[in-house]
Structure 1
Amino acid sequence: MLQTAYDYFWWHRLWLPVNLTWADLEDTNDRVYAKASDLYFSIPLAFVFLIVRYIFEIHVATPLAKVLGVKDKVKLRAAHNPVLDTFYKSSSKHPKQSDLDNLARASKFTVRQVERWFRRRRNQDRPSLQKKFREASWRFIYYLLAFIAGMAILVDKAWFHDLREVWKDFPKQTMLQSQYWYYMIELGFYWSLLFRVAFDVKRKDFQEQIIHHVATIILISFSWCANYIRVGTLVLVIHDASDFFLESAKMFNYAGWKETCNNLFVVFAFVFIITRIIILPFWILHCTWVYPLELYPAFFGYYFFNAMLWVLQCLHMFWAYLILGMAHKFLTGKLEQDERSDKDETDIPDEDDDEEPTKNGAVSNGHSVQNNNHHKAD
């Protein structure tokens, strides 16, 4: 049964144009084609990325954070209370009013004290500025190097300047060594992001990030197997083009360099809109949707590839909406909070609390910046 399912999954009529089979993509003396088995290499490469990231964050990002003055804020800790702690861990971090009344009676606190306890407890679990800085600096260095490498291997290619060249002789297009490493490194990186997503800083768009990583991995893998490598490299470099601006803006945000952060955010927003809202749909998606039909009838792989690209495009539109909202607040002087970021909650004192409140920081450190991962297809 498994063999039958395997045969149906790799049926050439699903993934290749009419009158072509997988036998047509076997290596010859002068041509080397991508193979599905090549993708296995991306998994150990992902673990290499995790190791390199660990070393980078300790020996590069942490000292850099100190140089730039990134400091963690002192947080008031919630007093140990078994009743409240049990509810916090097993039920909800944000109790309803009815829950507050019941918890107040059970813990012998006032309702205001229970509210304050939950605020402090939530703040204890929030990631530190240095953790956020380390993550941003790792992604910054990767996206910057990936974009430079992508441009280096594409700038002299015919399909970079003429999108019709993407489909010339498709799918019998020999694989270049530079394409192999570019694909494997990108795929390995996205696997590493997926492996780490549960441990990294969680944003409001956590679910969208999961969808983005999974869609990206599927899209990269499929485009490799079906030899959509030329257009795949274009999609990858487009996604890398804006991300390093965003990550650098975050880094300066956490360091408290407000003006530098805001200027980088403006550059990021501009590049993001140009690459992912204009170039990607009106050039790349047009290239993948229209040009192939001039050469062969539509088939399942054609629809599947375009569907996955549109999943990414929908995510880009969602993030563009957040970015434009941030830009509007930025221009009107009302920007106080990163739409996707987790924020520290103000610890409001009342008549029963004689401790000084902690300062509430907009975004993460009182400065404006839009958080986005990312991403590539980000």
Structure 2
Amino acid sequence: MAQEKLFLVETRLIATPFAAWLGVTEKTRHKVEHNAALEHYFSTKSKNPAQADIDGLCKKCGWSTRQVERWFRRRRNQERPGVLKKFREASWRMVFYLAAFIGGIIALYDKPWFYDVREVWSDYPKQSLLDSQYWYYMVELSFYLSLVLRITFDVKRKDFKEQIIHHWATLTLLAFSWCGNYIRVGTLVMLIHDSSDILLESAKILNYAKWEKTCNGIFVVFAGVFIVSRLIIFPFWIIHCTWVIPPLHYPPFFGYYFFNLMLIILLMLHIFWAYLILGMVKMFLFGSLTKDERSDHEEDEDEDGEASVIEDNDGHVKVTNGCGRGGRASQ
């Protein structure tokens, strides 16, 4: 796929040198000693064994408690994606969203529906397809298709299920709007989404580079742009335009209901993400937001017993005592 080739080119020629320039380096990971009993338990039962299970594994393997605990810490760390992988993925998405947003502005700035959304229904359904609209759609469709195809290889976040729903809803929306000639309103939907995604991926990049203050500033700006674009412009301009105006000119049909259903699904996801974002902004403003609540971190592989804050594979922030048995911290 063309998107895959672009991804490889961007990560090798742009993201990797950029990461090196920012000082983003991979933490050295200790490879675990092969142990069939521990590996079987890790793969089939639990990645975070309880103390009783650890005691049983110690007897089975002839290892000390500390050795078993250390093995599981290192084995869990091997499952976690490295910071360079996350940096490259965020860099690729940021470059795409920026290019797509600029391309969308160029394609739409001289169109009447860019300034008056009611114009999306002018002369519908007999609307001509412009070259700029065609390529804008093809690029966005290809990108979201690549996200779906790469979903099992990319870093999994705690909103993994919501991301899958979002990608499929977006793909369905774009494909259906193309077939139903809802292309004008489709271009506006894509532009609105790309505007805030640029800032989100930029904040991730800076977070991986440990530019904390700059990252925090961009994240606050992202939160503002997200609220305005996804919770104000999207429902009160776009959905209002697709829900209220068409019945005034045409009798409702299947496409009318299906298209608006997809938009409502996206709006529900926007509300869910806005809730998470505002919670993070609140903690940030009151000084209780830590980097562990925004990104994945490895467990300390040292043999000391000091508590450390980590994020588990499901995205839950936990306080552990070095062997992964601590309770969850308040989020």
Partner Cα separation in structure 1 for residue 54 and residue 264 of structure 2: 44
State the shift of 1:79 in Å: 2.8
Partner of 1:128: 82
Partner of 1:88: 42
Matched, 1:106 2:60: yes
Aligned CA distance change for structure 1 residues 214 and 329 (closer, same or farther; 3 Å): same
Matched, 1:145 2:128: no
Q: Which amino acid in structure 2 is aligned with residue 170 of structure 1?
A: Y
**The one of 201, 207, 222 aligned to 1:268:** 222
State the shift of 1:112 in Å: 5.0
> Is this contact kept in 1: 2:4–2:146, CA < 8 A?
yes
Aligned CA distance change for structure 1 residues 132 and 217 (closer, same or farther; 3 Å): same
Cα displacement string for residues 303-325 of structure 1 (whole angstroms, at most 9, x for unaligned residues): 11111111111111111111111
Partner Cα separation in structure 1 for residue 36 and residue 26 of structure 2: 28
Partner of 1:341: 295
**The one of 257, 272, 275 aligned to 1:321:** 275
**The one of 179, 183, 188 aligned to 1:234:** 188
Q: Which amino acid in structure 2 is aligned with residue 95 of structure 1?
A: P
- Provide the identity percentage: 58
Cα displacement string for residues 278-304 of structure 1 (whole angstroms, at most 9, x for unaligned residues): 111111111111111111222111111
Partner Cα separation in structure 1 for residue 158 and residue 239 of structure 2: 28
Higher RCO structure, 1 or 2 (CA under 8 Å, sep 6+) = 1
Q: How does 1:303-322 map to 2 (within 5 A)?
A: 303-322=257-276
Q: How does 1:110-259 map to 2 (within 5 A)?
A: 110-259=64-213
Partner of 2:26: 72
> Is this contact kept in 1: 2:77–2:298, CA < 8 A?
yes
Partner Cα separation in structure 2 for residue 249 and residue 84 of structure 1: 38
Aligned residues: 312
Q: Which amino acid in structure 2 is aligned with residue 227 of structure 1?
A: N
Q: Which runs of 5+ in 2 are unaligned?
A: 313-331
> Is this contact kept in 1: 2:73–2:299, CA < 8 A?
yes
> Is this contact kept in 1: 2:120–2:184, CA < 8 A?
yes
Aligned CA distance change for structure 1 residues 154 and 75 (closer, same or farther; 3 Å): same
State the shift of 1:97 in Å: 4.9
Partner Cα separation in structure 1 for residue 49 and residue 260 of structure 2: 44
Partner of 2:11: 57
Partner of 1:20: none
Partner Cα separation in structure 2 for residue 298 and residue 275 of structure 1: 27
- TM-score, scaled to structure 1: 0.77
Partner Cα separation in structure 2 for residue 361 and residue 105 of structure 1: 28
Partner Cα separation in structure 2 for residue 84 and residue 60 of structure 1: 40
State the shift of 1:206 in Å: 1.2
Q: Which amino acid in structure 2 is aligned with residue 231 of structure 1?
A: V
Partner Cα separation in structure 2 for residue 214 and residue 95 of structure 1: 36
Matched, 1:299 2:253: yes
Q: Which runs of 5+ in 1 are unaligned?
A: 1-46, 352-356, 364-378
Aligned CA distance change for structure 1 residues 226 and 96 (closer, same or farther; 3 Å): farther
Q: Which amino acid in structure 2 is aligned with residue 345 of structure 1?
A: E
Q: Which amino acid in structure 2 is aligned with residue 171 of structure 1?
A: P
Aligned CA distance change for structure 1 residues 358 and 250 (closer, same or farther; 3 Å): farther
State the shift of 1:110 in Å: 4.4
State the shift of 1:345 in Å: 2.4
DSSP-derived class of the 2:218 partner: helix
> Is this contact kept in 2: 1:53–1:138, CA < 8 A?
yes
